[in-house]
Amino acid sequence: MGICYFINGALNTLLCDAADKPGLFFNNLLYNSHERKAVRRFFKCRSKRWLAQLFAGAVQGVHITMKRVYNFSAGPSMLPLPVLEQAQKELVCYGDSGMSVMEMSHRSAEFEEIIAGAESALRKLMNIPENYKVLFLQGGASTQFAAVPLNLLSGSGKADYIISGQFSKKAYDEAGKYGDVVVAASSKDKNFSYVPKVDRSSFRPDADYAHICYNNTIYGTKFPYIPETGDIPLVADMSSCIISEPVDVSKFGVIYAGAQKNMAPAGVTVVIIREDLLGRARPETPAMLNYKIMADNDSMYNTPPCYSIYMLKLVAEWVLSLGGLEEMQRMNQRKASALYDYLDSQDYYFAPVSAESRSMMNVTFVTGDETLDKKFAKEASAAGLKNLKGHRSVGGMRASIYNAMPYEGVVTLIEFMKEFAKNNPKG
């Protein structure tokens, strides 16, 4: 029993940088004095050589634990390693609270500090103006497809949607249950391989809001511009591009995003809303979907997704520590350019998205042969490049290269693509 604790503890100690605090380590791991005594007795009887071997084994164990793949999943997706390590360090005991964040009351002083810290880090990162509220909600971005019309479709009862992919279509379908909702523009004609161009005249002048999906995760397109909507509040689903580059928040009435791509594990959904848009909810709006109720209760009308909020705080602080969104954009551009430059330089793979609408986060490509596409995803997975299969509705391949994907991951993918093309000539 004691030895298991030791090995476990040695790994933990190494990972947690706590090698200089052995006393703390023992106290944390061995709660009862009988166990502590037994472990001390056990070590006194061992030779130095034996201890060295044990430690070497533990180090190797750490190495094995730390071998991570390049995960190109569209979401949930990679989290930054330093963030995971920090979370690991604090997993069992957060600060001097004596408990995990997962075990903490959301009304405790510690958690209040965490949620306030998450909000202030996000505000700083995105330069969110004072007259905007930041909400930490649940239900994923899909719940926002209903929450947006419930909260905003209360004036003329009209809303205009740009359909640039599956998620914007889902949002449009949901909103249609609540009012007069129309398609202002669509790129369905070319299988959503581009983002439609719109201007002020594309929207009905009395619309309660206009809705876009800023980055289309499935198709790999992104709005290369922010649509001009005049005094019509612009609502944007930013689930797959939030905090990947600077955005001018003041151009939007509402920004929403599920966290599980760039911000945190699944569980928390961020809503950033201009204050004058609060208090317009339709009478039938459930309390849990009412932005004003959530804002008045600092996102704690009920129990919030505490652990995801804590992780979001760590991720936002990580991006700040790297230099903020300008630096993140530079890093993301470097990764995306490397991949697109390779795609443009050869004719084995084909990138179906029009050049000006290319996403920096989700890069789609095909070989033009479904059998080869399947083989590609399978062999890439075996080589440690995971989740490259395209969305089931479009096929081909998709490399999601969110903030946490290192440049080396993209370089390794490009090398794999070259090898695969060489070894699998087309007939």
Ligand X SMILES: Cc1ncc(COP(=O)(O)O)c(C=O)c1O
- Report the distance separating Cα 386 and Cα 207, nearest Å: 43
Among residues 108 and 166, whose Cβ is nearest to ligand X?
166
Rounded alpha-carbon distances, angstroms, from residue 2 to 16, 145, 284: 20, 53, 59
DSSP assignment letter at 424? S
Q: Select the residue interacting with ligand X from 13, 239, 262, 285 (CB under 6 A).
A: 239
Task: Tell me the residue number closest to ligand X, measured at CB.
Answer: 140
- Alpha-carbon span 333 to 144, nearest angstrom: 29
Q: What one-character DSSP code corresponds to residue 293?
A: H
Stretch that binds ligand X, among 12-20, 119-127, 136-144, 244-252 (CB under 6 A): 136-144
- Report the nearest approach of ligand X to the CB of residue 216 (Å): 6
Identify which of residues 9 and 253 has a Cβ nearer to ligand X in the complex.
253
When the beta carbons of 16 and 306 are compared against ligand X, the nearer one is 306
Cα separation, 128 vs 214, whole angstroms? 18
Helices and strands in the chain: count of H runs, count of E runs: 13, 13
103-122 binders of ligand X (CB under 6 A): none
Residue in 213, 235, 295, 366 binding ligand X, rule: CB under 6 A: 213
Q: What is the DSSP string of 313-331?
A: HHHHHHHHHHTHHHHHHHH
Distance CA 126, CA 243 (A): 7
Q: Measured from the CB of residue 164, what is the shortest distance to ligand X in angstroms?
A: 10
Using CB under 6 A as the binding criterion, the count of chain residues that bind ligand X stands at 11
Query: Residue 48 in 3-state DSSP?
Result: helix
If one asks whether residue 247 binds ligand X (CB under 6 A), the answer comes out as: no
Should residue 229 be labelled a site residue for ligand X when binding is judged by CB under 6 A?
no
Asked if 258 interacts with ligand X (CB under 6 A), we say: yes
Of residues 368-387, those binding ligand X (CB under 6 A): none
Shortest Cβ distance from residue 132 to ligand X (Å)? 20
Residue 174 touching ligand X (CB under 6 A): no
Q: Which of 174, 184, 179 has its CA nearest to residue 289?
A: 174
SS3 of 256, please?
strand
Contact with ligand X (CB under 6 A): which of 9, 75, 220, 396? 75
Distance CA 107, CA 228 (A): 41
Distance from C-alpha of 170 to C-alpha of 233, rounded to nearest angstrom: 20
Tell the smallest beta-carbon distance from residue 322 to ligand X (Å): 24
Taking the least distance from each CB to ligand X, the nearer of 12 and 240 is: 240
The neighbouring-strand residues paired with 185 are 162
Instruction: Between 70 and 145, name the residue whose CB sits nearer to ligand X.
Output: 145
Q: Which of 208, 237, 245, 317 binds ligand X (CB under 6 A)?
A: 237
Whether the ω angle into residue 22 lies within 30 degrees of 0, i.e. cis, is: no
Contact in structure between 340 and 351 (CB atoms under 8 Å): yes
424 touches ligand X (CB under 6 A): no
Find out whether 80 and 316 touch, Cβ atoms under 8 Å: no
Q: Residue 303 CB, nearest distance to ligand X (Å)?
A: 19
Burial label, 32 (beta-carbon count in 10 A; 0-12, 13-18, 19+): exposed
* Footprint on residues 139-158 left by ligand X (CB under 6 A): 140-142
CB of 222 to ligand X, least distance (A): 10
CB of 256 to ligand X, least distance (A): 9
Minimum distance of ligand X from residue 147's CB (angstroms): 11
Nearer to ligand X, 140 or 305 (CB): 140
Q: Any contact of residue 138 with ligand X (CB under 6 A)?
A: no
How many CA atoms lie less than 13 Å away from 255 in the CB half-sphere? 26
Structure letter (DSSP) for residue 233: P
Q: Name the minimum Å distance from CB 140 to ligand X.
A: 3
Binding site for ligand X (CB under 6 A): 75, 140-142, 167, 213, 217, 237, 239-240, 258
